Amino acid sequence: MQVLHGIGILSLVWSWPACQNARIADLPSVDDLGAPRGGALARVLLHLHSPFSWDACDQKPELDRGECRQNLLDALCENRIDLAFLTDHPDRMASTPIEDLTLRGPDVDLVSDSNSGLLLGEVSSCRNTHRSWIAPGLEGTVMGLGMSIHLDSADQTGREELYSQSSAEWAQRLQSEAGALAWMPHPESKSAQFIHDSGVQGLESFNLHALLDPEIRHSSLRLAPLDSLFGVLGFAFDPFFDLNSDSMFLHFLQAPARFIERWNEVIELRNSLGESMNFPAWGASDSHEYLFPQTGSDGRRLDVHARMTRLVVNHVWVTERTPSSIRQAIQEGSGWLVFESLGSPVGMDFSLQSTTQGQTYGPGQTLEVPAEQSIPGLGLTLTVTLPRVYRESTQREGRAEAPRLRVRVFHLSPGQTTEVVLQEAWDESVSETITLPGTYRAEVSMIPRHLRGVAAPYSERALLEFPWIQTNRIEVREASSLPGVMRTRRRR
């Protein structure tokens, strides 16, 4: 963290006036991305910091005159985020009225969702007419996503201590008293046992801050500490301001294996204790606006919220696009993570069909097989529908080449912590007959050839393979229900 902050300070010295190069267009409406299984999609951000975090806004949030807050609101509008879970650090948020943590003001209305009980800020000032909800929350050792009240009436010091706890009892209090989801941030630095014993309802499958922080890269992700920064420095010290700042991610984006490894370890621990293997995980930008404060070619700071949050967006499958439905879908793991700076996926879906039942299951669901039936007898087929890139969401120059897409399906068997690749294909949908218990998930990676013009003079970066989509899991579970009973979480 100190290394990143030092680079940010050095970059302030390089302060030539920026050319106003065209910035990337707003993300398209999720209504234009398809309606998988007859439902709808919602864009959701988890783990995001406002000026009520001590380390946000160049680590001087108390000096913010509204720019940092406005940048956050602009990000929600430009990226058409439906619900953003703010996760501010206890030292500032604990002493702030919960209503203020919604960022309420002339451009943000304070509302309450009657179905879920969520206390929300509703952004009503987007120039593209999009409306976004903001849910307050905290990041201590455990995150509270969507808190409707502060816990206890203790003084600030006592509340800070409370908010920094990690135990099953604390997670239960967040859920039952504050109405929040209890989530584990930064699982890369915690053991599977610790995560399980904390009583959380899910974890992060990716964290952008961890990918960029040299200390975390070295100590937790087993990556070279500074590799992610070398490419960024070219944008930080761009003397002619002619590099496209929105292509900066092509120099550092990757999906470290540690996140999936830890997720698998938690799942196997749960399985060994007789618990469901279906444990949700979502992506996090962990955006603060304190990494790279220098101005890019579009006239905005390189780490502006709009740029960083676009890189890590959760596409959540819902029956209706309401705060209560979105919250439930997050809790269940219904959907997938999208690295949407590469482009928005149209027509993406991941599902399990049973010909015997005539039922379809999506991410976040568990199919429980009664003892008198076998998995092969259910006629199960797993399908990944190949998405296409929504062209208008990506800035291009001239006639763009089509991206290459690789689809992979992963299977995690009970008793194992290492997945196997069940199916793999380039540029086509995949289907696979399922005969074994365990969890199944899918990934779509991309060679973004359509970004070669945008990436110039680093066009060769667009010929590399990058992660694009990571789904949550579908579980097939044997003989855990009464004879003759078939149970699922939600049928879609």
DSSP symbols for 387-413: PEEEGGGS---SSPPPPEEEEEEEEE-
Give residue-wise pLDDT tens across range 441-468.
999 999 999 999 999 999 999 999 999 9
Return d(Cα 135, Cα 129) in angstroms, integer. 20
Residue 426 has pLDDT above 80, yes or no: yes
Give residue-wise pLDDT tens across range 86-125.
999 998 999 999 999 999 999 999 999 988 889 999 998 8
Bridge-partner residues for 123, per DSSP?
108, 132
Tell me the residue type at 37.
R
What end-to-end distance do the CA atoms of the chain give, in Å? 43
CA torsion sign for 379, 384, 386, 390 is positive
Q: Give the per-residue pLDDT at 372.
A: 83
Read off the pLDDT of each residue in 227-234 and give the average, rounded to a whole number.
82
Return d(Cα 369, Cα 477) in angstroms, integer. 6
What percentage of residues in the chain have a pLDDT greater than 70? 90
Q: Cβ distance 92 to 301 under 8 Å?
A: no
Bridge-partner residues for 354, per DSSP?
359, 380
Return d(Cα 345, Cα 339) in angstroms, integer. 10
Task: Extract the tokens encoding 382.
Answer: 């797993």
Q: Cβ distance 48 to 93 under 8 Å?
A: no
Q: Give the per-residue pLDDT at 66.
A: 87
Backbone φ, ψ for residue 143 (5° rounding): -95, 140
* Region of residue 358 (phi > 0: left; psi between -120 and 50: alpha; otherwise: beta): left
Return d(Cα 117, Cα 120) in angstroms, integer. 9
More confident call, 363 vs 400: 363
Is the peptide bond preceding residue 414 cis, with omega within 30 degrees of 0?
A: no
Return d(Cα 70, Cα 142) in angstroms, integer. 27
CA angle 180–184–187, rounded 5-degree value: 170
Which DSSP helix (H) or strand (E) runs through 442?
strand 438-447
- Report the b/e string of 189-224 with b at 16+ CB within 10 A: bbebeebbebbbbbbbbbbbbbbbbbebbeebbebe
Which DSSP helix (H) or strand (E) runs through 270?
helix 257-272
CA torsion sign for 410, 413, 417, 420 is negative
Residue 79 has pLDDT above 70, yes or no: yes
DSSP 301: B
Read off the pLDDT of each residue in 235-259 and give the average, rounded to a whole number.
92
DSSP 295: B
- The candidate with the shortest Cα–Cα distance to 85, out of 132, 18, 37, 28, is 132
Q: How far is CA 454 from CA 145, 233, 296, 459, 482, in A?
A: 36, 18, 14, 8, 57
Read off the pLDDT of each residue in 272-295 and give the average, rounded to a whole number.
94
Give residue-wise pLDDT tens across range 307-337.
999 999 999 999 999 999 999 999 999 999 9
Read off the pLDDT of each residue in 465-477 and give the average, rounded to a whole number.
98
Q: Cβ distance 102 to 73 under 8 Å?
A: no
DSSP symbols for 25-44: PPPPPGGGS--GGG-EEEEE
Return d(Cα 46, Cα 422) in angstroms, integer. 30
Q: Give the per-residue pLDDT at 14.
A: 38
The gap from C-alpha 47 to its chain's centroid, in whole angstroms, comes to 8
User: Hunting for tokens 């039942």 — which residue is that?
Assistant: 357
- The candidate with the shortest Cα–Cα distance to 361, out of 385, 386, 382, 336, is 382
Find the radius of gyration of the CA atoms of the chain: 22
Residue 16 has pLDDT above 70, yes or no: no
Contacts of residue 242, defined as CB under 8 A and 6 or more positions apart, other chains included, come to 19, 21, 297
**The pTM is what?**
0.92
Residue 166 has pLDDT above 80, yes or no: yes
More confident call, 45 vs 8: 45
Give residue-wise pLDDT tens across range 341-398.
999 999 999 999 999 999 999 999 999 998 888 999 999 999 999 999 997 544 444 5
Q: Give the per-residue pLDDT at 43.
A: 98
Domain ranges (residues) in the chain: 2-344
DSSP 23: P
Residue 482 has pLDDT above 60, yes or no: no
Q: How far is CA 207 from CA 47, 364, 405, in A?
A: 9, 20, 23
CA angle 21–296–71, rounded 5-degree value: 100
Tell me the residue type at 446.
M
Q: Give the per-residue pLDDT at 229.
A: 79
For 2-344, CATH number? 3.20.20.140
Residue 485 has pLDDT above 50, yes or no: no
Task: Extract the tokens encoding 378.
Answer: 């259910």
Q: Give the per-residue pLDDT at 63.
A: 77
pLDDT interval class at 399 (50, 70, 90): low
